[in-house]
Amino acid sequence: MHILITGAAGMIGRKVTERLLKDGKIGRREIVKLTLHDVVAPDAQPTEKTTILPIAGDISDRSVVDRLLAEKPDIVMHLAAIVSGEAEADFEKGYAVNLDGTRFLFEAIRLKNYRPRIVFASSIAVFGTPFPEPIPDEFHLTPLTSYGTQKAVGELLLNDYSRRGFFDGIGLRLPTICVRPGRPNKAASGFFSNIIREPLKGEEAVLPVSESVRHWHASPRAAVGFFLRAAEMDLDALGARRCLGMPGVSVTVGEQIAALRKIAGDKAAKLIRREPDPVIERIVSGWPTDFEARRAQEQGFEADTDFEAIIRAHIADEHDGRAPVMG
């Protein structure tokens, strides 16, 4: 089996790649080759079982997409995207990569006339306020960003191309990934991870919103599990509605901090500095807080059990089970 991952140098892309190389198979089928795409060539190393073809390029360039599909990969995990903030700041680039790039990929597959599995990374950004809490699976998509719009268009195309039999597709609306490893970033959502990751290292973190803010989270580990499940499951049960809200953990910032305190003690919790930022408060107030995600759960997608489990997964994956600051 040959798997193509677009956006393979991103955080989730790297973790999915690692896991695939470690497992060496999906279901019962051996993975003999990974084609790893990103704007810079991903640097994963081949194993005895699995060769790696790195391809650097912009998926809004049709010739790049043609190279990605040249060997007709059996599974395509499409994660490449311009992120929310950049797609909002650079309208043309966002549409070029997130909409045209996705369509070029789907079109290239259609014209190759085979029927691979496509796993498309969508996002809860397809939803925009006002909405009920929790949001049911049948609630309409009302994105309030260009990024969310582009993901929602990708979902519609994926449904139609699947219905027409050009490929066998599934879209995963990912919760906010928490705890994101690496350095603090300036994404408006960054603080959800910063306030856990930094104190565990003994570093200060800034909390720009009130503790009553509620949001929807999944660990990187759970997200990797979603992609593996989506790659191997039978999609016929989904019918024509191929895009699913992934299960997650709905918690307030206060509950996040309580979980951190339980695992890493007051010493960690005290490293969180309150510094209210009205701009971030306003942005975050338009974000979804909770989902039913019933269909995904019926299809065997598994969320983290609670926010403590999310922190423990982070400590296991990024600190080999023992963070510098622990209770």
CB atoms inside a 10 Å sphere around CB 164 = 9
Question: Does the footprint of a second copy cover residue 282 (CB under 8 A)?
Answer: no
Residue from 62, 115, 241, 319 in contact with a second copy (CB under 8 A) = 241
> Which residue among the candidates 95, 114, 147, 161 is catalytic per the annotation?
147
* Minimum CB distance to a second copy smaller for 147 or for 307: 147
Active site residue 147: yes
Q: Which of residues 196-235 bind a second copy (CB under 8 A)?
A: none
Amino acid at the residue 16: V
Among 153, 213, 224, 303, binds a second copy (CB under 8 A): 153
DSSP labels, 170-239: EEEEEPEE-SPPSS---STTHHHHHHHHHHHTT--EEE-S-TT-EEEEE-HHHHHHHHHHHHHS--GGGT
Cβ neighbours around 45 below 10 Å, total? 7
CB within 8 Å of 110: residues ≥ 6 apart: 161, 166, 167
Does 83 sit near a second copy (CB under 8 A)?
no
H helix or E strand, kind and range, residue 56: strand 51-56
CB 269 within 8 A of CB 199: yes
Cα distance between the two ends of the chain: 45
- Contacting range for a second copy; rule: CB under 8 A; set: 53-61, 156-164, 264-272, 288-296: 156-164
What's the token pair of residue 112? 């190759």
Per-residue contact flags (x/-) with a second copy for residues 84 to 103, judged by CB under 8 A: -------x------------
Residue 78 C-beta: closest distance to a second copy, Å: 17
Q: Which two tokens stand for residue 271?
A: 């490293």
Among 160, 211, 281, 290, binds a second copy (CB under 8 A): 160
CB 33, CB 53: distance < 8 Å: yes
Per rule CB under 8 A, count of chain residues that contact a second copy: 21
Least Å distance between CB 6 and a second copy? 21
Stretch that binds a second copy, among 21-29, 157-165, 189-197, 227-235 (CB under 8 A): 157-165
Closest separation in Å from C-beta 269 to a second copy: 38
Reading the block at residue 118, the tokens are 């496509």
Could you give the string, one character per residue 124-143, with x where binding to a second copy holds by CB under 8 A and - elsewhere? ----x---------xxxxxx
Interface with a second copy (CB under 8 A), residue from 146, 189, 193, 256: 146
**Which residues participate in catalysis according to the annotation?**
147
Site residues (CB under 8 A) for a second copy?
A: 91, 128, 138-144, 146, 149, 152-153, 156-157, 159-160, 163-164, 240-241
